[in-house]
Amino acid sequence: MTEARASAATEVVGGNDVAGDTIFVGQYLFTGSETTSVWLEVDKVEGVDVVCKIKNSATLAGALFTLHASQIHIDLPTLTDKDKEHISRWGARNKIDFLSLSYTRHAEDVREAREFLSKLGDLSQTQIFAKIENVEGLTHFDEILQEADGIILSRGNLGIDLPPEKVFLFQKAALYKCNMAGKPAVVTRVVDSMTDNLRPTRAEATDVANAVLDGSDAILLGAETLRGLYPVETISIVGKICAEAEKVFNQDLYFKKTVKYVGEPMTHLESIASSAVRAAIKVKASVIICFTSSGRAARLIAKYRPTMPVISVVIPRLKTNQLRWSFSGAFEARQSLIVRGLFPMLADPRHPAESTSATNESVLKVALDYGKTSGVIKSHDRVVVCQKVGDASVVKIIELED
């Protein structure tokens, strides 16, 4: 083992270093290769110097490095001034749908980010996905989940902050909690080997499938598509593995488990959502169509992971800021794309939320035509429709003719 001395490193990692702590320096988070980063174990602290033992062989090359101190509290803001500047300029101009909040450690981090977004008029509807990257974020996971719109499990950083044998346990627990809360869960770092290779390893292929079986809504690729040699092939292979895993997903067990977790009495919306899924299962419907304005009803249906696709028909709402009139709905439709099993479509803005029976039938016909064009609906199929009629929520079953 070689000795390394890092001047003023105590200031970087918060001044909490003690013998045995781990410091990680390199490009692993960018490359996916562990030979591009150095693992250091703190031996002693001498003033502003941290003396470390080098635990591995690695080559440090290039200008972009990260420094990570495992399980050390760093007293820095989650959203820096530079972050706020980029969000205010580029984010507001492009009306971003999601904000990935890196290194979320407390629910307060999410609240502060939401308050900042609300001040930027165009981003008041932007959803915040808390990126869990260290033990501090896992410790406060429940309260973070309550505040955030979704969760990203950053397994690259978690794999540094946690012992390797603990990562799977936190992944499964976090995904379960997201599923029961009906909030999207995203998993990262699944096929690192495809950064330089045309095929993933068998272990990686199994890992992708297990992420699907555990309940993840999406897979977030990193180095494989950022700087990898085979970005298109990576997306194709990961997509095929996900499709195969979904075929053997035990939907019946999942549905019963979710209903039991929610318990009784259910909320009005939860009851309608679970009833729509139960009806679709019983009649072997080919698709569930849900009329919604906020997207919440469709997301609740998707929470029960029905075996059939859920078409979310977002009905635009008319609003005004006293200077001009506009329709909302585009944000909600796009944001639904990250929810597993949900396929959104935006209804014609000329059909208001307070629709008549004739308008409802017109929009339903468009949704059915979309399903037929997509190949998910055929003649004589049964379709479950969930919609609001006046003040009542209705779940109905229709059987298509030729």
Q: What digits encode the pLDDT tens for the residues 168-182?
A: 999 999 999 999 999
Q: What is the pLDDT of residues 92-107, one digit of tens each?
A: 999 999 999 999 999 9
Instruction: Answer yes or no: is pLDDT of 12 > 70.
Output: no
Give the pLDDT confidence score for residue 1 in this predicted structure: 47
Distance (Å, rounded) from C-alpha 250 to C-alpha 306? 10
The domain limits of the chain are: 2-69, 81-247, 251-399
Q: How confident is the model at residue 297 (pLDDT cuts 50, 70, 90)?
A: very high
CATH topology match: 81-247 vs 251-399: no
Cβ neighbourhood burial of 193 (10 Å; 0-12, 13-18, 19+): middle
Give the pLDDT confidence score for residue 15 in this predicted structure: 46
Instruction: Answer yes or no: is pLDDT of 63 > 80.
Output: no
Instruction: Answer yes or no: is pLDDT of 72 > 80.
Output: no
Q: What is the mean pLDDT of residues 25-39?
A: 72
Q: How confident is the model at residue 348 (pLDDT cuts 50, 70, 90)?
A: confident
Q: What is the pLDDT of residues 181-238, one digit of tens each?
A: 999 999 998 998 998 899 999 999 999 999 999 999 999 998 889 888 999 999 999 9
Cβ proximity of 385 and 296 under 8 Å: no
Beta-bridge partner residues of 37: 26
Instruction: Answer yes or no: is pLDDT of 25 > 60.
Output: yes
Q: How confident is the model at residue 351 (pLDDT cuts 50, 70, 90)?
A: low
Give the pLDDT confidence score for residue 27 in this predicted structure: 73
Q: What is the pLDDT of residues 259-285, one digit of tens each?
A: 999 998 999 899 999 999 999 999 999
Give the pLDDT confidence score for residue 59 in this predicted structure: 78
Give the pLDDT confidence score for residue 110 in this predicted structure: 97
CATH node for 251-399: 3.40.1380.20
Q: How many Cα neighbours within 13 Å face the side chain of 284? A: 2
Instruction: Answer yes or no: is pLDDT of 397 > 60.
Output: yes
- Top CATH class of 81-247 equals alpha beta
Give the pLDDT confidence score for residue 150 in this predicted structure: 97
Q: How confident is the model at residue 402 (pLDDT cuts 50, 70, 90)?
A: low
Cβ proximity of 302 and 310 under 8 Å: yes
Give the pLDDT confidence score for residue 149 in this predicted structure: 97
What share of the chain in percent tops pLDDT 70?
88
Instruction: Answer yes or no: is pLDDT of 349 > 70.
Output: no
Cβ proximity of 39 and 24 under 8 Å: yes
φ, ψ for residue 330 (rounded to 5)?
-65, -45
Laid out side by side, the sheet with 22-26 consists of 2-7, 49-54, 37-46, 22-26, 66-69
Instruction: Answer yes or no: is pLDDT of 241 > 90.
Output: yes
**338: which residues sit within 8 A by CB, 6+ positions away?**
98, 150, 184, 186, 217, 218
Instruction: Answer yes or no: is pLDDT of 325 > 80.
Output: no
Average pLDDT of the chain? Answer: 86
Q: How confident is the model at residue 22 (pLDDT cuts 50, 70, 90)?
A: confident
Instruction: Answer yes or no: is pLDDT of 55 > 50.
Output: yes
